[in-house]
Amino acid sequence: MSERLEALLEANRAAAAPIAGMPANPRRRLAILTCMDARIEPLSSLGLQLGEAHVIRNAGARVTPDVLRSLALSQHVLGTDAVLVLGHTRCGLHGATDEDLAEAVRRGGGDPEGLRFLPFDAVEEGVRESVASLAGAPALRPDTQVWGAVYDVDSGRVSEVAR
């Protein structure tokens, strides 16, 4: 076993807390689409606890087919009725191009063929595009509330940018 995995498993043994009896349905009926950036902990930054919201993460908090699949299940199987798109400052997709990001993948030894990275020129613009993609999405409930906000990685503050 790798040392890195062993360290993770050891940390889990020390930190594990039972959640038996906690329902899969989020108590706040909320789903959060946010970036995979390691500086963001969406539950605590919004004053939420485990079990209160679904969290879906990807590069840039962008709406993709898999995000729509996850949100459709979150709503129609597990009862959510609202989505917060939470972008953040200093995102790696901000100001990049698909070509720049594809080249970075190539330099790392990967093949970007068929991938779209969905960069944006401004964080607020990226959040608004994701909110617009979700508003009226056929797979979601017609009464879905969708909001957009930006998390400032320097201050920890969240600001609304779209409804």
Per-residue pLDDT reduced to its tens digit, 94-135? 999 999 999 999 999 999 999 999 999 999 999 999 999 999
CA 34 to centroid of chain Cα atoms? 2
Give the separation between CA 55 and CA 43, rounded to whole angstroms. Answer: 8
pLDDT on residue 114: 94
Radius of gyration of the chain (CA): 17
Give the separation between CA 13 and CA 6, rounded to whole angstroms. Answer: 11
List the chain domain ranges.
25-162
pLDDT on residue 136: 86
pLDDT on residue 17: 83
pLDDT on residue 21: 85
pLDDT on residue 130: 97
Which CATH architecture group holds 25-162? 3-Layer(aba) Sandwich (3.40)
Question: What pLDDT, in 10s, does the model give residues 4-46?
Answer: 999 999 999 888 888 888 888 999 999 999 999 999 999 999 9
Query: What are the distances in angstroms from CA 43 to CA 24, 31, 78, 160?
Result: 16, 11, 18, 16
pLDDT at 161 exceeding the cut of 80:
yes
